Chains A and B, each alone.
Chain A
Amino acid sequence: MTLGTWVILAALTAYIIKASGYLLPQAWLDRPSVTELASTLTVGLLASLTTLNTVADGQALVPDSRLLSLLAGGIALKLKAPYIVVVIVGALAAALGRQVGLA
């Protein structure tokens, strides 16, 4: 098969996986224990995504200026800054870290 065919096939597969999650029956999802699990999973997923974005570079653990972003973002949140300010503070912290020569 050509590269173009594999591109299309991989894109279709990605869509089928995305859609498959929505096929679970709603009655099953309405059970109280499932709702409780879903809210616990929310915290786990958000914590995992935050961690990944902070220290992962492919399969390597790379501590770099993103740790400053995590710290600065945490301080901004502690001070109850609006969400957009938190995001901007995160960007500034990483950019400043690199200005002073951190990775």
Chain B
Amino acid sequence: MSGTLLRDRLTPAVRMGLSISIAVGAYGISFGALSVAAGLNVWQTMVLSALMFTGGSQFAFIAVIGGAGTGAAAWAAATLLGIRNGIYGMQLKALIRPPASLIPLMAQLTIDESTATAVAQNDHDERVRGFWTAGVGVYLLWNTFTLVGALAGDAIGDPKMWGLDGAAVAAFLGLLWPRLTSKDPIAIAIIAAIATVMAIPLVPPGIPVLIAAAVTAAVWGWRHYWRRSAS
């Protein structure tokens, strides 16, 4: 009986959210260790994971501090990398239509993984379950592992050795895959991937996603306009 209930609760979106939480959350250990090595104390490290809670920006912040940069430069780097979360918020609002009362909490959990898990689903309830499972799951694991990393320092080793970076690759591919059902989305995916590869060496981390989004929107806009003028 309880087995059936559990299986009913573990919908595809929930399973995706849990898997991606584990693959990504464990990386908190790297962040915690690197942050303390960069000169932040354990409290400052935990404030970044608990309040800033957007991995790319957190790594950028401590990289600037570790490289003897100023607090203002660290703020600017972190802020630049966080801009994509604003785009994610628009996307999530368009797809989920959350009640206003939930938006303050949803905003805090709006990151790559929760957005990707939500938008990869096909119906409203699954999107909602995907968002919350990945958002809360990554939040809890990311903060727990940040603390472990900050306290243990380099003693634990690199999560790369367990292939966790490869797990993240497969996790994102698994979210994209069900969308590649016809020529149009496959073409869009290829264009976005090429735009990303070209942007990586040219702009700071975190910006290539924005460039890929802009290119995707431009391709869509061009096709949209062309179809309208053709009919």
Docked CA distance A50–B75 (Å): 27
- In the complex, the answer to whether A46 meets B164 with C-beta atoms within 8 Å is no
* A11 at the B interface (CB under 8 A): yes
Asked if A7 meets B53 with Cβ closer than 8 Å, knowing A53-B165, A87-B23, the reply is no
Give chain B interface residues in 200-220, CB to chain A under 8 Å: 200-201, 203-205, 208-209, 212-213, 215-217, 219-220
- In the complex, the answer to whether A91 meets B174 with C-beta atoms within 8 Å is no
Asked if A45 meets B44 with Cβ closer than 8 Å, knowing A19-B103, A51-B197, A77-B173, the reply is no
Nearest CB of chain B from residue A76's CB, rounded to whole Å: 7
Nearest CB of chain A from residue B177's CB, rounded to whole Å: 5
* A100 at the B interface (CB under 8 A): no
- In the complex, the answer to whether B47 meets A11 with C-beta atoms within 8 Å is yes
Total number of A residues with any Cβ neighbor in B under 8 Å: 77
Docked CA distance A3–B98 (Å): 36
* B85 at the A interface (CB under 8 A): yes
- In the complex, the answer to whether A83 meets B176 with C-beta atoms within 8 Å is no
Docked CA distance A3–B41 (Å): 10
- In the complex, the answer to whether A24 meets B93 with C-beta atoms within 8 Å is yes
- In the complex, the answer to whether A46 meets B89 with C-beta atoms within 8 Å is no
Nearest CB of chain A from residue B183's CB, rounded to whole Å: 12
Nearest CB of chain A from residue B120's CB, rounded to whole Å: 7
**Among B79, B108, B165: residue with most chain A CB under 10 A:** B165
Nearest CB of chain A from residue B3's CB, rounded to whole Å: 17
Total number of B residues with any Cβ neighbor in A under 8 Å: 98
Give chain A interface residues in 1-51, CB to chain B under 8 Å: 1-15, 17-22, 24, 26, 29, 33-38, 40-51
Docked CA distance A40–B164 (Å): 29
Docked CA distance A3–B78 (Å): 14
Docked CA distance A14–B89 (Å): 12
Nearest CB of chain A from residue B53's CB, rounded to whole Å: 7
Q: Which 7 A-B pairs have the closest CB atoms?
A: A21-B89, A90-B170, A94-B166, A44-B216, A6-B71, A69-B166, A73-B170
Q: Which residues of A contact B (CB under 8 A)?
A: 1-15, 17-22, 24, 26, 29, 33-38, 40-56, 58-61, 65-66, 68-70, 72-74, 76-77, 82-84, 86-98
- Contacts A19-B103, A20-B86, A51-B212 aside, 18 further interface pairs with beta carbons under 8 A come to A1-B71, A3-B71, A8-B51, A11-B47, A15-B52, A17-B82, A37-B217, A44-B192, A45-B209, A46-B189, A47-B192, A60-B201, A70-B173, A73-B173, A77-B177, A83-B15, A86-B170, A90-B170
Q: Which residues of B contact A (CB under 8 A)?
A: 12, 15-16, 18-20, 23, 39-40, 43-44, 47-48, 51-54, 57, 61, 65, 71-72, 74-75, 78-79, 82-83, 85-95, 97-98, 103-104, 106-108, 110, 112, 115-116, 119-120, 160-177, 179-180, 185, 188-193, 195-197, 200-201, 203-205, 208-209, 212-213, 215-217, 219-221, 224
